[in-house]
Every structure is written in C-alpha cells, then in structure tokens.
Amino acid sequence: MQHIVDRRLAGKNKSIGNRERFLRRHKEQIREAVKRAIDGRGIRDIERGEDIHIPKRDISEPVFGHGQGGVREVVHPGNKDFVTGDRIARPKGGGGQGSGKGQASDQGEGEDDFVFALSKEEFMQVFFEDLALPHLVRTQLAEVPEWKSQRAGFSSDGTPNNLHVVRSMRGALSRRIALGAASRRELAELEQHLAECRRTLQPGDALVEAEIKDLVARIEALRVRVGRIPYLDPIDLRYRSRIRVPVPTSKAVMFCLMDVSGSMDEGRKDLSKRFFILLYLFLTRHYEKIELVFIRHHTQAAEVDEENFFHARETGGTVVSSALILMEEIIKARYSPTEWNIYGAQASDGDNWHHDSGRCRELLNDKLLPLCRYFAYVQVADEEQNLWEEYSQLLEPNRHFAMRKATEPSMIYPVFRDLFKKEGAKAA
C-alpha cells in the first residue's frame, strides 16, 4: 500500500475552498446582487465582475449561550408598565446602534456592510445558473474566444527556430556593401594609380619609387579595413514575427426587437433582456466584431439606444410588422448580407393587431429569413395569441428559425439548444 504525500506549495488560490463555501452559504444574497447588476448593465457590459454587499447581520455566526438556570424572582423598582405574565418586546434598532443601512450614530459605532468582489467567472456562473444552462453549454459561453497565430512581418529578436536565413543573409550583404563601398572604391583607384606608376617607372627615379611604396602601404591598409567587415553581424539577423488574433475575424450584427406596449411590464422586459444577453454571449464566441441594433415598437417602430430600449414604456396597441419593416430597411442601408452575419431576436407577449399577424409572417418568410443566419422569437407570456399561430407556420420550412415561450428565466435555454445544435462551435 502506497501513501502519496503532496508537498507542493499552496498556490495563490489556496483559499478557494473557503471562498466556495462562502458563496454557497450566501447564495441568495449573491443571486439578488447579480440580478440587480443585470438590470443596471448594458448587454455589452455583462461580462465583468461585481461588488457584492452583504449586511453584517447576515454573516454573524450562531453561538450557544449558557443561562444561569433555575427559577428566580427579581423585583425591578419603578415598574409602572408591566405585571406578571406580560411579554416584553425586543428593543427596536436605532439610537446609535447602527443597524447597517443609513443609521447614524453619535458614538462612533455602527455596522458596515461586508463587501467582496465577485470575479467575472463567478458572476457569469450565477447568471447561467438562473438560466438552467447545461454545464457544457455554460462552459462554452464562459470560455474566452479561440485565438490563432499568424505571421506579422519580421523582427530583430526571436528564437533560433524562427530565424529567416534568406532575409538575414540579404541584410548582411547589404550591410557589407554599404560599409565597404567607399573603401573598395578608393582601393580600386589606388590600385589603378599604382599600375600606372609601375608602368612609367624609370630606373633611378627615386620620387616615383617613394610614391609606389606609399601606394602599396595605403592599399594594404585598405584591404585590412575591408577584411575587418564581419560577414554576419547580430544586427543582420531577422526572425519571423507572429501575433495572436481571434478566430474568426468575421463580423455579425444582432437585431433586438421588443414590444414596449402597455402589456409588457418590467418582469417581461427582464426576461427579454436575459434572452438578448444569452444570444449576445453566444455570438461573442463566434465573431470578433458584433454590432447591436435595438428596435422597439408599439403601433410604430423606432431604432433607439439600449437605455430607452429596456426602460421606456408606451401605452396603446401593438403593430409588430412596423418593427420587421424597419429591420429590413436598416439591413439594406447598413448591413449587406454579403459582408455581415445577420441575427434577429424578437421578444413579445404575443399580443398584436389581428390583421397584422399574417403580414408579419409574410415579412419574415419573404424578406428577413433569407437574409438572416438565425432568427429567434420568444413569447414572454403563456396565452396563445394570433402572432404565435402565424409564426408557427414558419418552423417547418425554415430550419434557422426558432420560437419558444418563456415565463421564467429557466425556460429561455431551449431556444439556444437548437442554435447550438445547428451552429455547433464552428465560426461563420
């Protein structure tokens, strides 16, 4: 029998067990904090951490107190309010005791909230847990995009296996030519002058002999100088340079369409926002560049910013076709299907003007679905509406169209089950 003793030093995450127990213990407070953060954030800012505030009274440890025991009779002088058998209420907070939120104290004592930072990974895990995502899908959405290495020219630093021989030799040759050009030119002139002097030399001509001797010395010095130019210098070496880029480099646009009529309350808008967030997270794992287009509608449609999209509320009826028409116009004006991967996401309670639902089906089938890679419709109400009946006719002929009902966050995932099945992990 063998006993294995792990003597490795504890890493920087040696308290991870304590942290996980703490997160499980205060799961409800953390979930509420994440929900508040989602309500206050934009879709693009969903992937970051959050500071969680837990009141001090919620993290107090339970203790056992030992009483004095026995039966005792105590007489308190000055009692004018109570008689035997009365129950005395607990004293209310305040009076400088510091109940935790907004309670001032003139004695310098009080209770502060316990604040800790929730990391990006922990924040996303809480968000996914509320949506009832399978672990595999949760992992795929929480992971960072894949990267690939590609060539990016040459650099003067690198490893020997990335050495570019041809480029290095070319640089060495250029350097030798540049450094020795003047010396070689002077050397050629001196050699030509020396040849002329030797040809014209007469016996006993001491002046010419002295000049020849000087020329020989100068030529020898120049040859030594040219010979000292190194054949290959470290500054000549060139290495292949590589950089990491996300995979793929294609771009996508996500259209968010939502009904903002009087029947869409805040709870239904919250469901819609979670639906849009989940689709956006899925697209960020497939595309490097993603643009969001927000279209809100009641009887008329308008392109708005994210703040007005989720928080503005209108009264009156609903004409869904106005949003579909505006989406088609925006695609034609700004997002050519040959350059952009187009995704549509529509959320509504299903209520629509009766004569408009058939037109919505025709617009989707004839105009928008041929342009989109995927279009998903979520009805955030249980009631069967005429819009649901019309859209149901598009399921069979269009494999890239999905529709579901969702009255709570855990019901949103089935829409994406088909999306993962059809898209897989491949990039467009």
Residue 49: per-residue pLDDT: 64
> 266-284 and 413-423 helices cross at what angle (nearest 10)?
20
Instruction: Give me the percent of the chain exceeding a pLDDT of 70.
Output: 70
DSSP assigned state of 283: H
Judge whether 135 and 92 are in contact, CB under 8 Å: no
Q: What is the pLDDT of the chain when averaged over all its residues? A: 76
Q: Is the pLDDT of residue 159 over 80?
A: yes
Q: Is the pLDDT of residue 239 over 70?
A: yes
Q: Is the pLDDT of residue 425 over 50?
A: no
- The domain ranges of the chain are 14-56+112-130, 160-240, 249-423
Cα within 13 Å of Cα(73), Cβ side: 1
Backbone φ, ψ for residue 189 (5° rounding):
-65, -40
How many other CB atoms are there within 10 angstroms of residue 31's CB atom? 14
Please provide the DSSP assignment of 313-374 as one string: ---S---THHHHHHHHHHHHHH--TTT-EEEEEEEE-S---GGGHHHHHHHIIIIITTT-SE
Q: Looking at per-residue confidence, does 238 or 121 come out higher? A: 238
Looking at the DSSP bridge assignments, the partners of residue 257 are: 295, 346
Quick one: pLDDT band at residue 398, thresholds 50, 70, 90? confident
Tell me the H-state helices in 53-164: 120-130, 135-142
Judge whether 109 and 96 are in contact, CB under 8 Å: yes
The C-alpha atoms of residue 248 and residue 55 are separated, in whole angstroms, by 45
Residue 331: per-residue pLDDT: 94
Residue 361: per-residue pLDDT: 92
CATH no., domain 249-423? 3.40.50.410
Q: Is the pLDDT of residue 363 over 80?
A: yes
The C-alpha atoms of residue 117 and residue 53 are separated, in whole angstroms, by 9
Burial class of 129 by CB neighbour count within 10 A (0 to 12, 13 to 18, 19+): middle
Interacting residues of 72 by C-beta distance below 8 A, sequence separation 6+:
none
- Encode pLDDT of 170-223 as tens digits: 888 888 888 888 888 888 888 888 888 888 877 777 787 888 888 888 888 888
The C-alpha atoms of residue 167 and residue 171 are separated, in whole angstroms, by 6
Interacting residues of 401 by C-beta distance below 8 A, sequence separation 6+:
364, 369, 374, 375, 376, 377, 394, 395
Residue 428: per-residue pLDDT: 34
Q: Is the pLDDT of residue 426 over 50?
A: no
The C-alpha atoms of residue 163 and residue 154 are separated, in whole angstroms, by 9
Residue 100: per-residue pLDDT: 44
What pTM value is reported for the model? 0.51
- Encode pLDDT of 5-61 as tens digits: 655 555 555 566 777 777 777 777 777 777 777 666 666 666 666 677 676 666 666
Q: Which amino acid is at 104?
A: A
Backbone φ, ψ for residue 147 (5° rounding):
-125, 155
End-to-end CA distance of the chain: 54
Residue 181: per-residue pLDDT: 82
Burial class of 260 by CB neighbour count within 10 A (0 to 12, 13 to 18, 19+): buried
Judge whether 362 and 398 are in contact, CB under 8 Å: no
Q: Looking at per-residue confidence, does 80 or 280 come out higher? A: 280
Task: Give how far Cα 127 sits from Cα of 158, 175, 306, 347, 375, Å.
Answer: 43, 61, 20, 20, 23
Radius of gyration of the chain (CA): 39
Lowest mean pLDDT among 102-116, 173-187, 377-391: 102-116
Q: Is the pLDDT of residue 365 over 90?
A: yes
Q: Looking at per-residue confidence, does 143 or 329 come out higher? A: 329
Residue 34: per-residue pLDDT: 74
- Kindly report the length of the chain: 428
Q: Is the pLDDT of residue 326 over 90?
A: yes
Shortest CA distance to 197 belongs to which of 176, 177, 211, 179? 211
Q: Is the pLDDT of residue 156 over 80?
A: yes
